[in-house]
Structure 1
């Protein structure tokens, strides 16, 4: 390719959005590197001449961040500091036609499933033998493992199927091979991700096989922790809980987004489940795996939501006492079935409701953390920051959950497992000392 200097091309990949996008960027990096092209993730050195922006198009805030990032890179190109700006990912998939005319300075736009086309821009070949080879953008001791692409659900608020297509599971053998490669590179913990984990296998094997996959991954030597994210509650495959109980390296942790609890909202959101069914499911999960950590996410401000619906959510949280909760405000997305409804709740009120719900959960989180004081937990060390080490228990995933703060003169390494006695508890963090 032509460049402004005689130097070799260097590509900087900027990733926005979720961990699934991060995996896509890592795969692209691996392919570029295999084609002898210099590549970095979100470099601040500014010694690159090409940028690939991997965008998110899920909700308004994410779309705005993606567009601003593209414009920032285009401005650098105008100033002669970049030769090429390419855009890929969900925003590009969803709005390519509009974006091409609005931001003509971008050299090429790509959808979510067009990796070979991106590589052609670099005169590079897609190497199928590299399946599972990635250039990690995470610290070397943990990684995300995307077990499927797309989604077959029809939730009223969600635009993901428009951007990612229908559910496509990856074969068990391929995922095990990728996990083995990750472990050989130093990974100790993998987080299973997909738009919807519990659907895994139905398309490929004609039955749900998440449990079989978990067992196969648990056999990978050197893999210390396996963590489950994005499990859909409807038709939940209870057999995976037995696997979780039997296998020591599968974390007693489950991320199960519920989105709401009030029956009118669950029906309007097309969640295919009722409040009572959710209560029964949570009870069954806790009975089968005592001590399991349950994380959920909720949406507030969906069209037609009443203040009583919000109070119902708060009562539910006080009754069920989830370990971890995240709350998002509803985003009115064209192309979804909810877009036909009136977006009748102002943004400020959506935020107020979200804050109200989180204040309820904050008290629950503090009480649950206080129960841990004096107890000993095995933790994985993530990093050293401001003279202290930050670690996590098996009940905490990366970035979204609690951290354990350790002050010690002993030198600890990222990825090292140590035992810690909890000495202090805060709303969302713990302090501890080495045992």
Structure 2
């Protein structure tokens, strides 16, 4: 196991000083410099991009919502599924046109994809206009890497396997002033056989509790209403700190911070979820009554092949324990269809688990082999056509269940946070359980708590009016 590298405050100060150097360098060039940051994948990537934007703002960049005309384009990538990788490669390919129109444009690729050797090699050989490539462990060093490119003009590729780091003091530019992501830990120790995350993000490493609490306290004082604690497996928080703290303890501490905000967290691994966690969720008034608890498969044999380290029976017992404490909990999950070796009977076990649990929503995926993971080498006899048919069957049934559960909201009134405007011009809001509500109302209500009376529902959303 590689050690965790704690970045000294003096080193972050040095990176901030480099930001100032870059600012002076850019000031010598005509016009306001613009940066476009494009984020793929999970909420952890969103949180990472907020820190990359923090550095860029310190350098003097303004932010653009398009790559066209941007002086710097940064793609923060995801490697969790093949579709995400192909989408990134397609978008990198399209950047050849903007680079041709704007030769001084600096193109950067970072994030989980960049940490994979085969991806870095392809970027180097097939996309000669990509200027800077680095993995997530070197995010804290972004200013230094960018300065090397700007001063020397040569391409910079930093994709070596380095210890996972924890760096405090990186500036943050958040996407809005209502919702905030707070990373409480990085990396993963679980090594599920299908998952690339431990290889590209490194082993688990927790931030110190005083740093997390200081960040949340600052957000609460600034008026943020929806704060999500992030980790690949938040239930493992604190195990590496030797401080006698765990995630349930951290939730209690965050709950005690003054302010009118809701606390969310993701993701929870079932093998580490506990009755103590559920007790804390039930008693802490700011903790949202919702839980994302990925089960991945309803078959204990498949779960063992996935190295998930729980069984169907132990997962269902967790759900029973949770609902005994929070009867109206909103429960969501992930499921993989067509893991190598899954039989039709084992897929039906997944279907029966969905029937028994009745999730509010599922994130469903057909198995996608990841280069370098054990599952990539497993025999996979089920035809793609059968996997696709199973996927559609699961999707259809879950949509029916989601629609049925949403109908139960109609006629009731819920406290919700108005967080924006939807494509149809109506306000969008979320219940504390995370359910989307479409509302009629003035945009001045964005960022406020309201009481919403639910008048209708669909598979994916609720419809209501402000009381």
Q: Distance in 2 between matches of 1:2 and 1:144?
A: 30
Secondary structure of 1:177's partner? helix
Contact 1:150 1:168 in 2 (8 A): yes
Q: Distance in 1 between matches of 2:65 and 2:241?
A: 38
Contact 1:381 1:417 in 2 (8 A): yes
Secondary structure of 2:115's partner? helix
Which of residues 360, 367, 370 in structure 2 aligns to 1:323? Answer: 360
Structure 1 counterpart of 2:446: 414
- Residues 209-228 of structure 1 aligned to structure 2 (within 5 Å): 209-228=246-265
Contact 2:75 2:110 in 1 (8 A): yes
Question: Structure 1's 129 and 19: CA in aligned 2 closer, same or farther, altered over 3 A?
Answer: closer
Contact 1:57 1:90 in 2 (8 A): yes
Does residue 130 of structure 1 match 2:163?
A: no
Which of residues 414, 432, 443 in structure 2 aligns to 1:394? Answer: 432
Gaps in structure 2 of 5+ consecutive residues: 1-24, 149-166
Moved more, 175-184 or 294-303: 175-184
Secondary structure of 1:187's partner? coil
Structure 1 position 100, deviation (Å): 1.5
- Residues 355-370 of structure 1 aligned to structure 2 (within 5 Å): 355-370=392-407
Structure 2 counterpart of 1:85: 107
Structure 1 position 117, deviation (Å): 3.4
Q: Distance in 1 between matches of 2:298 and 2:50?
A: 36
Does residue 30 of structure 1 match 2:62?
A: no
Question: Structure 1's 80 and 236: CA in aligned 2 closer, same or farther, altered over 3 A?
Answer: same
Structure 2 counterpart of 1:44: 66
Does residue 21 of structure 1 match 2:45?
A: yes
Does residue 297 of structure 1 match 2:327?
A: no
Q: Distance in 2 between matches of 1:19 and 1:73?
A: 25
Structure 2 counterpart of 1:165: 202
Q: Deviation string for 1:373-415 (max 9, x for gaps)?
A: 111100111212334211111111xxxxx4111124x554222
Structure 1 counterpart of 2:413: 376
Q: Distance in 2 between matches of 1:273 and 1:129?
A: 34
Which of residues 256, 274, 294 in structure 2 aligns to 1:257? Answer: 294
Q: Distance in 2 between matches of 1:374 and 1:293?
A: 18
Structure 1 counterpart of 2:21: none
- What is the TM-score when the length of structure 2 is the normalising length? 0.85
Structure 2 counterpart of 1:54: 76
Secondary structure of 2:99's partner? helix
Question: Structure 1's 363 and 87: CA in aligned 2 closer, same or farther, altered over 3 A?
Answer: same
Contact 1:226 1:251 in 2 (8 A): yes
Structure 1 position 8, deviation (Å): 4.3
- What is the TM-score when the length of structure 1 is the normalising length? 0.91
Structure 1 position 79, deviation (Å): 2.6
Question: Structure 1's 155 and 43: CA in aligned 2 closer, same or farther, altered over 3 A?
Answer: same
Does residue 274 of structure 1 match 2:307?
A: no
Structure 2 counterpart of 1:238: 275
* RMSD value, Cα: 2.2
Structure 2 counterpart of 1:399: none
Structure 1 counterpart of 2:86: 64
Q: Deviation string for 1:80-126 (max 9, x for gaps)?
A: 265211111111111323421222221121111112432124449xx
Q: Tell me how many residue pairs correspond in the alignment.
A: 422
- Residues 330-349 of structure 1 aligned to structure 2 (within 5 Å): 330-349=367-386
Structure 1 position 169, deviation (Å): 0.7
Q: Distance in 2 between matches of 1:220 and 1:208?
A: 17
Q: Distance in 1 between matches of 2:239 and 2:97?
A: 46
